[in-house]
């Protein structure tokens, strides 16, 4: 269990789908999620090549299995942070329990306290999202995200993870007047290979800048779609 710190009070948000895209209803705003912004503006050529190589059925199976594993691992981690018990006796549950324990053992050791778990963050009028943990990591206020991966990640593969973290840091600072100094992405594979990616300093500033550029692209696309529907009506 990690010590709860009462410095910040977080708004409760509700997620909903709009034409298949995740959005948030929070603090009187209806906003696109960070993942929706990134999904709508990413270069998906690599994904298309991967689906072609694997085949649609196998690619979908891998996607669903990864999402299910990630959800289960997050449940263990959230309950650990909150000091609650959780047990899933299925094979998947036991696998993700071991993954969560690896993250707890290695990744969460430097976390001395947390402000919120599964926190909804939003930048008024622009976007919203949910980060896994906001806390103090090595004496710095930090955005922390947990990720499961089928295999070890390379730095060049996690570009959108960094932008996601930058978006959350900006939203937190804007609404709460904070100074989030870093983001830490904790990754574990089913064979318990742990990786940690820290985004701070110039890298965090770049992540924020690059996310804002993608956000501009997103709203250009959305506004263009609206104009097309209007003039085509």
pLDDT value for 55: 84
The tokens for 47 are 């994904």
Mean pLDDT by 10 residues, the chain (233 residues): 94 93 96 97 76 79 83 94 89 94 97 97 98 98 96 93 98 98 97 98 98 97 70 47
Question: Does pTM top 0.95 for this prediction?
Answer: no
d(C-alpha 183, C-alpha 32), whole Å: 21
pLDDT value for 227: 58
pLDDT value for 56: 78
The tokens for 215 are 């956000």
pLDDT value for 196: 97
pLDDT value for 85: 83
| Domain residue extents for the chain | 13-43+111-226
Closest CA to 169 of 216, 217, 201, 125: 201
SS3 percent helix, strand, coil of the chain, rounded to 5, is 50, 30, 25
**Overall CATH class of domain 13-43+111-226:** alpha beta
Please, are residues 25 and 14 in contact by the beta-carbon 8 Å criterion? Answer: yes
Alpha carbon 186 to its chain centroid, in Å, reads 11
d(C-alpha 82, C-alpha 173), whole Å: 24
Strands 140-148 and 182-188: parallel
Edge-to-edge order in the sheet of strand 29-32: 13-18, 21-26, 29-32
């Amino acid at each position: 269990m990690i010590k709860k710190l009462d410095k910040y009070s977080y708004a409760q948000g509700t997620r909903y789908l709009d034409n298949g895209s995740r959005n948030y209803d929070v603090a009187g705003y209806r906003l696109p999620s960070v993942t929706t912004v990134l999904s709508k503006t990413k270069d998906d050529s690599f994904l298309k090549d991967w689906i072609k190589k694997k085949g649609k059925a196998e690619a979908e199976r891998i996607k669903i299995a990864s999402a299910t594993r990630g959800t289960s691992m997050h449940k263990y981690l959230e309950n650990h942070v909150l000091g609650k018990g959780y047990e899933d006796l299925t094979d998947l549950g036991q696998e993700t329990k071991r993954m969560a324990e690896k993250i707890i053992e290695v990744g969460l050791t430097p976390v001395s306290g947390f402000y919120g778990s599964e926190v909804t963050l939003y930048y008024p009028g622009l976007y919203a999202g949910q980060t896994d943990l906001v806390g103090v990591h090595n004496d710095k206020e930090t955005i922390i995200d947990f990720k499961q991966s089928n295999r070890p990640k390379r730095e060049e593969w996690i570009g959108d993870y960094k932008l996601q973290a930058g978006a959350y840091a900006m939203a937190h600072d804007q609404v709460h007047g904070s100074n989030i100094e870093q983001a830490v992405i904790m990754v574990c594979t089913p064979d318990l290979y742990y990786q940690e990616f820290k985004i701070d300093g110039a890298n965090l500033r770049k992540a924020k800048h690059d996310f804002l550029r993608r956000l501009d692209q997103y709203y250009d696309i959305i506004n263009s779609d609206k104009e097309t529907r209007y003039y085509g009506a």
